[in-house]
Amino acid sequence: MGLNCLKRVGCRGVGLASTLLLLLPGCTAPSGGSGDEAHISVSAVNYSRLSDREVYSMVNGTPSTSPVTPPAARPDKPLFYLIVPGEIYPSDVPLGALYHELGVSLEQRGYYSALAQVKAGRKLQLDYLLRVHCGIRPWLNPIVRADRVTWGNDGLLAKRYKTRMASDLNFDLRQGLNQEDVDNLNRFVRGVGGTPNMGGKGAGAAAAEGPLDASTFVGNARDTDFGDGSIVAQDFCFVVVEAFRFADVKAMDVQAPCVWMIFIAVPTENRRKLSEVLAAMLKSAVPYYGETTSGLQVFNVPVGKVLLGTPTEVKEKAASPTSPQLQFSH
């Protein structure tokens, strides 16, 4: 029995690139190289404004292609932040350069680097800690976490998901499966090779009920399509920002709640590099910092390669909420 027998209708865990090819009329995969169009997705949530039910509903809403961009409202007063690294994956963009580009994007929403203020001789003001995950890694569905993220529960995945797929029916479907996972599941359904531990059953029982157990596994995976390998994760260029109030972290430590999160991503079709899409990604994200999207907001936008060098400090320029001190050489 092959995996195709388990294919289900109405599944939600479909890769972004596959989804876009269905949603965008006449859309084909980009041809690669500078000047191409890229499918940029933005998923954002403001946890502080929503109930658990509302968070889940909004995060898992129907994707919207070419959405009307909301106005980028600014706060009544400047907000100051420090960036702390989260999960950093390899890419062709130096981390300092990425932080700089992110800072330029955040300024359009009234967020300013506290470090730049201190370097300019001003008093430290700190409202937020921004935890940033970035780089290129395999992923499936680039949406923000629908659980209550805290300062101590860090990472792209909740800690309860950080186990092997075969031993955890709460596997986080956002990350998808690698090819080895799919091959193992395929062999399991066909009754060939080893059998994973399904709910603590013995090896003999698992082998005897292989197809049934596999179907149960698929059902517990929120109707994800394991049918034809389409859920194999693909590489994404991504930037994820998690915002925490500094006062909450001081008072509550690991229990401090995440206020808002944003997940910006682009599939790396034809070996696309992060440097080629970063500027367009962060431009698309501006209206959504601190806001909530209903499902993925997907933009088909032209991109060009941006040469990002090593940050150099220009001491004669004073930093201010309208004039950042750090400049980058190209």
DSSP letters, 271-328, are G--HHHHHHHHHHHHGGGTT---SS-EEEEEE--------EEE-TTSPPBTTB-SEEE
pLDDT tens digits along 165-177:
444 445 677 877 6
274-285 and 95-107 helices, crossing angle to 10°: 20
Q: Say if residues 30 and 129 touch (Cβ distance below 8 Å).
A: no
3-state DSSP assignment of residue 45: strand
Percent over 70 (pLDDT), the chain: 60
Choice between 17 and 119, residue whose per-residue pLDDT is larger? 119
Q: Is the dihedral of CA 143, 40, 275, 97 positive or negative?
A: negative
How many helical (H) and strand (E) elements, i.e. helices and strands, does the chain have? 9, 10
pTM above 0.95, yes or no: no
The domain ranges of the chain are 3-26+34-71+82-311
Choice between 3 and 131, residue whose per-residue pLDDT is larger? 131
Residue for token digits 């995996």? 3
pLDDT tens digits along 60-99:
999 988 777 777 777 888 999 999 999 999 999 999 999 9
Q: What is the largest CA-CA distance in the chain?
A: 74
